[in-house]
Structure 1
Amino acid sequence: MNFSKPLIVLSIGLALAGCNSDSNSTTDKTQPAAPFDLTIAHVNDTHSSFDAVKSSFKVAKTTVYNEFGGHPRLLTKANAYKEEAKTNDDSILFLHGGDAWQGSAYFKLNEGKMNADILSQMGLDAMALGNHEFDLDNEKLNSFIGSINFPVLAANIDTSKDADLKDQTNLKPYVVYAFNGNEKELVTDLDNLPEGKQIAAIFGLVLDDMPNIAPNTGDVEFKDMVESAQSTVDMLKTKGINKVIAVTHIGNAVDLDVASKVNGIDLIVGGHSHTLLGDFTNLGLSNNGTYAKMVTNPDGKGLTCVVQAGEYAQAIGKTEVSFDAEGEITRCGGNNTLLTNDEFYDDAARDTGSKFTDQETASVVSFIEGQDNIAVTEEEAKLRAHINTKYKPAVDAAYGNVIATVPNELNHERRPGDGGTDAHGSDVAPIIAAGQYYWAATPEVVAVSGLKADFSLVGAGGVRTNIPAGEYREGNVSLELLPFANFISVLPVKGSVVKQLLEDTITATLPEGAHAGKFPYGGNLRYTFTETVANTSGTLNSVEVNTGTLEAPNWALLEDSTTYNVSMNSYNASGNDGWTALYDAQTSDSGRVDLAFVDGKLTAFPVSHLEKDGNDKTIVKYEGEDLDCKDETKDIVCNTDAQAVIDYIAAEQQTLTPISYETVTLNRIE
C-alpha cells in the first residue's frame, strides 16, 4: 500500500502480543488466516458546513487567502479515495466522528432535513452520535436518523425509555462489515459470520455526561464510556471478530484516555475536540499533535491507533491500518488533508484587485502539489448544484441588514496558542463578550432585568465561526456566529466563584487534544493564567474588572467577597460544559434573571434555583412563569445572546476590529 506518511511498524515480537491478544477472545475459524489491510477515510464535526470556509495559509512568508472544504469538496476527495481503493482492490470505510448538525445558516433554516439529504449523498458507512445532534429535540433527531442511508452508532446509551428514539433501528451500538478486497457487506448475524472474508466491527461512543452538555437529551440514558467500550469489545471478541474500530465523539484527549483503559480497540476515529491532528507548520499553521498516535492498552501489550480530522468540513483524514494473520495491528499511518480551492487572494477582503495572477496562482499550486497535507480539490459538481438550487437562495435571503464592515478577517481559536494564535487567543470571542456586556448594561435592559451587568463571560465553544472581511450582516451573527438561540442570563455571583470557574475551565483545557469549548473569555473583564505543569495545571495570576468604559478602561482587581452581576448565555449560566462552579452557586438561591422577547417585548424571567433531574440534567426553576422557548401559544424570541451582539456591533463597532485591550492572557510552558 502507498502510505503518504511514515508508518508506525511494530516489531514481530510486539505484534504477536498485540492489541487483540485478549486471553478471553475466540478465533472464528471462518475468517481467513491472512494479513488484512484496511483504509479509513474520515471526517468529524462538520457542523452543517455545506459551503467552503474562508481561510488562509502561508507559502513561505506570503499569506494566501483561500477557501477550505465544504461538503462538495469532501465528496470529491472521498470519492477519489474510494476509486483508488477500487482500482487496487483494497478494503475501505468512510466514517464520520459526529456533530454533523448545527453551525451554519443552512441548519438554522432546515434543521436536520438538509443534513439528512446531503449526508446521504456522501457515501458514509457509519457516524458517531454527537452532542449537537441533540440540539433540537429527539423527535427531530429520530426523523434524521430514520431518513439517512448509513447507521448512527452509540454503544453507551439506552434509548428504551425515550418515547421518540426507543424504536429507532438505525441507531445502533455497532455495525459489522465483511470484506473481500474492495467488496464489503453488512453482517447482521454475528453467530454466522461469512466464510472466507475479513470481518471488522465499528462501535460508537458518546460522552457519558451528555445531559450536562446537550440541551435536549430527553429520556436517553448515557453509560460509562470505558465500561461500555470494554464490554462491547469483549462481546465482539467472543463472536470471533478480532478487528475492532471505535468511532467516537468524546474529544481527542478522552480518546487517548479511553485507549489507555480499554483492551482490544485497534483504531479510534474521533471527534468533538475539533482537533486537526498533524503538523501543519509547513502552511504557516499549527502543529496539532501526532496523527495516528499509538496508545498502549492497560494490559501493557495491546495498542490502539487514534485519529481525528479537524472541523467544519475543511479536511479529510485517511488512515491505513494493517493486521497480521491473527488480527493483530502491525502498522497504522496516514494524515489529514486540507482541501482548498484554486482561487487565491493577497487580501482578506478578496476583492478583484487582490486576486492572484495566473503566474502567482501557478506558483501556489506548485507549492501545494509538493505537500501531503493540503490539496487543490474541485467541488463535486452535482452536489454543489443541488445545494445552490435547493437550499442556498433561502439562506442568502435570511441574512438581513448590513451592521458593519470588517477590514480584516477576525480569527476565532478556542484556546490561546492554537491555530497560530498568541497567548491571547481569539479575536472574535472578546467581541461577543463585549457585546453581551454592553447590551446587559444598557439602561433599557437594566430597566427590565433590575441588574446592571458588571462584566460578561463567554465559553469559546459557543462561538462558531471566524468573522470574515467585507460586509457583515445580522444573519452572520444569528445564523452562523451564535446559532444556538440561547437567551442572555444576568447572574449575581461572588468574585470567588468567578475565579473558581476560570481556574476549573482553563485547567480542563490544558491537556493536549482537550475539548476547549469550555475555555472562558471575558467582556469588561480580563485575566492572566500561567501554566506551571505542562498540559496539566497552572495559576490564575490576576482577574480584573473594568470600572471605566469600553473605550477608556480603568482596571480594578476582582474581589472575592464582592457580588458581581455577570451576563452570559443561558447554557453556560446553568453550569453546562464544565462551568460547574455556576451551577453550585445556584442550588439553593440564584438571583439570576433570564431575558427573552415575548410578543415583541423584552421580558425578565427571575430564576429561583437550579437542580438536577434523574438523568443528572440541570433544571432551571423559575420564581414565576417558566421561560419556554418552544411555547407555540406566544411569540417568543429567545436568541438574545445574538441580538445583544448585533445591537452592540451596529451601535459601537460599525468598522469591526478587535477589542482594543486583551481580555485573556494564557502563558503556556514552551
Structure 2
Amino acid sequence: MQTRYSLRLAHINDCHSNFDPVALSLSLEHQGQAWRLACHSGGYGRIATVLDNARQSAKAADSPFLFLHGGDTFQGTLYFNEFKGKANARLLNLLKPDAMVLGNHEIDSGNAPLHRFIKAIDFPMLAGNMDLSEEDPLKGFALATLDNLYALDNESGCAKVRFSSLGDRKLALFGITLDQMKVIARPDPDTHFANAIDTCKRTVTALKAGGVDHIIVLSHLGLDGDQKLAAEVSGISLIVGGHSHTLMGDFASLGLPCAPWGIKVNGTPILHAGKYAETIGLASIEFDSNGQVIALDGGNYLMLDEHPVVQGASTECRDALLEQLKQHPNILWPTEQQEIRQIIDTDYRPAINALDRKVLAMVPRELVHTRLPSKSLPHGSEVAPWVSRAMYEESRLLDGAVDFALHNAGGVRQSLSRGNITLADVLGRLLPFELPLVKYAIDGQYLYEALESAINAATNNSVIGTGAGSFPYTYALKYHYDGRRPLGERIIALSMAKNDRWISVERSRSYVGVSTAYTAAGKEGYQALGMCHWQQPIDELTLPGAFIRFISRREALHEELPPQLQYVSHLG
C-alpha cells in the first residue's frame, strides 16, 4: 500500500475574458533609483504553452495532473461584451481544464448565458451548493438538465463530486461558490444557493465515511472565505480558490501587492492565482495516506514578454533591470501558442479593433474613480457622478417624470485618462456590465433607508458589508451621510433638484428614480428599493448605452460637476 501520493497541479482564476496579454507595471530598483517597467503578462496563448510544459513534466514524473479554474471567466473585456461567452468557452476548451467552479460573474445576467456556456464547454462546471430543487424543468435554459454541471445533491445535501485516480486511492474534487449569490449576482428566482460551509462540511463527512480521504475543494469564496472554510471544516486536503483576486507569492520586490503562497489554516493549504490571466499557479503536492498535504512546492508565475519598456533608462540600466527580472524565481518567459493566438486574431480581434477606433468624446483632464470618499477625494469618485448624470438625462429624454438617478460604485470599473474616450473604453473597461436600466416610483422614506443601508454595507458600519462597490452615487439627488450617528439616523439631509433649485425630500412623497436592474433589485444594501410602488424596464437603455449616447452628444466632459454628496466616516 502506498504511503505517499503525488499530484501536479496548475490553476488560474478570475481571468475575466483577458485572452490577450495584460499590461503590467512593475517596480524595480537599480543603483539606488526606482524604475517603472511597462510590460505584458499572461494571456491564453502563454497559458497554453505553460500548460503544455506542465503536462509533459507530470507525465515524465508519472504523476497525475490537474488543471483547475477558480471561476469568473465572464465579463471584464470587450471579448465578453461582443461574444457573450462563446469565445470564453471555445478558448477554455483549448486549454482543457479538468474542472471549473462557478463564479458570481457567470450568473450576472441570469441562468440563460450560463446554460449556453456550460453546454458549450468540454469540462465539468462545479457548483456544489447550487440548489436547483425548485427549478422549473420545463423552462428554457434549465440548468438541472446539464450533465456536466455538478450542483447540490438534494437528497444528501452534499455537493456532487468528481472522482479521479490518485495511486491506489480516489481523489475527490468538488466546487463551492458564494452563498450570497442572490445579493451580488442575478440568478433566476428559482435558483438558490445553500450555505457554503454547511454543504462543504456534509460533503467532507460523507466522503470520509466512504473511505475517501484525499479531498480538493475548488472554491469561489475569496481568500477570507476560504480561510473561514478551512477553519470550520476539518479534513479538506487542499483548497484552490478565486474571487478575491489574491496574488500569492513573493512579488513585493516587483511592486505588486501579494500574500504568502500556500497559506495553511487548520492543516489545509489554500492556493489562489491572482487575476486577469496575468499569472498561473503551478504546484507539486504530496499527500500522506490520510489525505494530509505533507509537501507543497511551487508558486504563482508571471508570464512576461521579452521587451519591457523603461522610460528614460540607458541601455545599460535597462539590461540590468531585465536581468533582475530573469533572476526572479516566479517569472516565466513563454511564447504564445500559435493556434490560440491565430484564433483570437482571426475570429475575435477584428471586432474589438473596430470598437477601439470609434472615438466618442474627449476628457480634458484625468477623472479618478474611487469607490469610497477619501481625504484626497472627499466627495468620492469623479467618474460615477458622470455615469449617474448620463442615466438621468438619457432616461428623462424618454420619460420626463424621472426625478433622480442612483448608481452603485462597483458598476463603474476604472478611471478615465485625459484624452479621447473610445467605444472600446466604455464597453470593455469603464462599464463592462451590460445592465438594463429600470425606472421605479418610491417613497422618500425608502430613499433614506436605501442610501444609508448601501453606505453602511460599503463601509462595514454596524453591519457585515458586501464590499465598497455598494457605495451610492447620484444625480439630481444630494445627500449628507454622517457615519457617527446611530443606525437609522445617518442620512441627515436629502434633497432633490427641481426647477433649478434643491428641495428637501419628503419621506411620505413618491419620487421616480432610475437605476440599473441590479441595484433596483435590492442588491448589496439597496434592499429598501424593493419597497417601490412599481418598476418598469427602460427597454431602450442599458448602463453603457446611456453613457455612450450621453457623451457622444456632448463630445467632451469639460464641466466640473457639483458634489452630490457629503460624507463623514464613522472611523473619524
TM-score (norm: length of structure 2): 0.80
Please show how residues 275-424 of structure 1 align to structure 2 within 5 Å.
275-278=246-249, 280-287=251-258, 289-296=259-266, 303-332=267-296, 334-346=298-310, 359=316, 361-399=318-356, 401-404=358-361
Q: 2:16 aligns with which of 27, 44, 47?
A: 47
Q: 1:275 to 1:648 in 2, by over 3 A?
A: farther
Q: Which residue of 2 aligns with 1:122?
A: 95
Helix, strand or coil: the match of 2:19?
coil
Q: Kindly provide the amino acid, as one letter, of the partner of residue 202 in structure 2.
A: S
Please show how residues 427-442 of structure 1 align to structure 2 within 5 Å.
430-442=381-393
Q: Which residue of 1 aligns with 2:230?
A: 259
User: Following the alignment from structure 1 to structure 2, what is the Cα–Cα distance between the partners of residues 40 and 477?
Assistant: 37
Once the two structures are superposed, what CA deviation does each residue of 1:125-177 show, in whole Å capped at 9, x if it has no partner? Answer: 11001222224454443332233222111221233535322221111222111
CA shift for structure 1 position 415: 7.5
TM-score (norm: length of structure 1): 0.69
Q: Which residue of 2 aligns with 1:176?
A: 163
Given that 1:407 and 1:657 are in contact with CA atoms closer than 8 Å, whether structure 2 keeps it comes out as: no
Given that 1:40 and 1:319 are in contact with CA atoms closer than 8 Å, whether structure 2 keeps it comes out as: yes
Q: Higher mean Cα deviation, 320-329 or 645-654?
A: 645-654
Q: 1:555 to 1:309 in 2, by over 3 A?
A: farther
Please show how residues 653-664 of structure 1 align to structure 2 within 5 Å.
654=556
CA shift for structure 1 position 357: 7.2
Q: 1:77 to 1:558 in 2, by over 3 A?
A: farther
Helix, strand or coil: the match of 2:246?
coil
Once the two structures are superposed, what CA deviation does each residue of 1:253-284 show, in whole Å capped at 9, x if it has no partner? Answer: 22222222212112111122222234533222
Matched, 1:93 2:66: yes
CA shift for structure 1 position 345: 3.5
Matched, 1:224 2:177: no
Q: 1:371 to 1:562 in 2, by over 3 A?
A: farther
Q: Which residue of 2 aligns with 1:21?
A: none
Q: Which residue of 1 aligns with 2:122?
A: 149
Given that 1:50 and 1:70 are in contact with CA atoms closer than 8 Å, whether structure 2 keeps it comes out as: yes
Q: Kindly provide the amino acid, as one letter, of the partner of residue 203 in structure 1.
A: F
Given that 2:369 and 2:382 are in contact with CA atoms closer than 8 Å, whether structure 1 keeps it comes out as: no
Q: Which residue of 2 aligns with 1:583?
A: 527
Contiguous gaps of at least 5 residues in structure 2? 151-159
Matched, 1:73 2:46: yes
User: Following the alignment from structure 2 to structure 1, what is the Cα–Cα distance between the partners of residues 274 and 370?
Assistant: 12
Helix, strand or coil: the match of 1:305?
strand
CA shift for structure 1 position 559: 11
Given that 2:247 and 2:257 are in contact with CA atoms closer than 8 Å, whether structure 1 keeps it comes out as: no
Q: Which residue of 2 aligns with 1:299?
A: none
Matched, 1:504 2:457: yes
User: Following the alignment from structure 1 to structure 2, what is the Cα–Cα distance between the partners of residues 93 and 221?
Assistant: 29
CA shift for structure 1 position 467: 5.1
Aligned residues: 546
Q: Higher mean Cα deviation, 76-85 or 379-388?
A: 76-85
Please show how residues 429-578 of structure 1 align to structure 2 within 5 Å.
430-442=381-393, 445=396, 448-453=399-404, 456-460=406-410, 462-464=411-413, 471-489=420-438, 493=444, 494-507=447-460, 516=467, 518-520=469-471, 522=473, 568-576=515-523, 578=524
Q: Higher mean Cα deviation, 442-451 or 55-64?
A: 442-451
Q: Kindly provide the amino acid, as one letter, of the partner of residue 481 in structure 1.
A: L
Helix, strand or coil: the match of 1:116?
helix
Q: 1:515 to 1:305 in 2, by over 3 A?
A: farther
User: Following the alignment from structure 2 to structure 1, what is the Cα–Cα distance between the partners of residues 194 and 108?
Assistant: 20
Q: Kindly provide the amino acid, as one letter, of the partner of residue 78 in structure 1.
A: L
Helix, strand or coil: the match of 2:176?
strand
Q: Kindly provide the amino acid, as one letter, of the partner of residue 168 in structure 1.
A: L
Q: 1:467 to 1:565 in 2, by over 3 A?
A: same
Once the two structures are superposed, what CA deviation does each residue of 1:217-239 show, in whole Å capped at 9, x if it has no partner? Answer: 36333222122111211222233
Q: 1:341 to 1:559 in 2, by over 3 A?
A: farther
Q: 1:294 to 1:44 in 2, by over 3 A?
A: same
User: Following the alignment from structure 1 to structure 2, what is the Cα–Cα distance between the partners of residues 335 and 657?
Assistant: 48
CA shift for structure 1 position 318: 2.7
Given that 1:542 and 1:557 are in contact with CA atoms closer than 8 Å, whether structure 2 keeps it comes out as: no
Q: Which residue of 2 aligns with 1:27?
A: none
Q: 1:220 to 1:437 in 2, by over 3 A?
A: closer
Given that 2:461 and 2:483 are in contact with CA atoms closer than 8 Å, whether structure 1 keeps it comes out as: no
Please show how residues 189-204 of structure 1 align to structure 2 within 5 Å.
197-204=168-175
CA shift for structure 1 position 570: 2.4
User: Following the alignment from structure 2 to structure 1, what is the Cα–Cα distance between the partners of residues 390 and 222?
Assistant: 34
Q: 1:283 to 1:586 in 2, by over 3 A?
A: same
Q: Which residue of 1 aligns with 2:153?
A: none
Given that 1:435 and 1:644 are in contact with CA atoms closer than 8 Å, whether structure 2 keeps it comes out as: no
CA shift for structure 1 position 98: 0.9
Helix, strand or coil: the match of 2:323?
helix
What's the Cα RMSD here?
A: 4.3
Q: 1:59 to 1:405 in 2, by over 3 A?
A: farther
User: Following the alignment from structure 1 to structure 2, what is the Cα–Cα distance between the partners of residues 399 and 314?
Assistant: 22
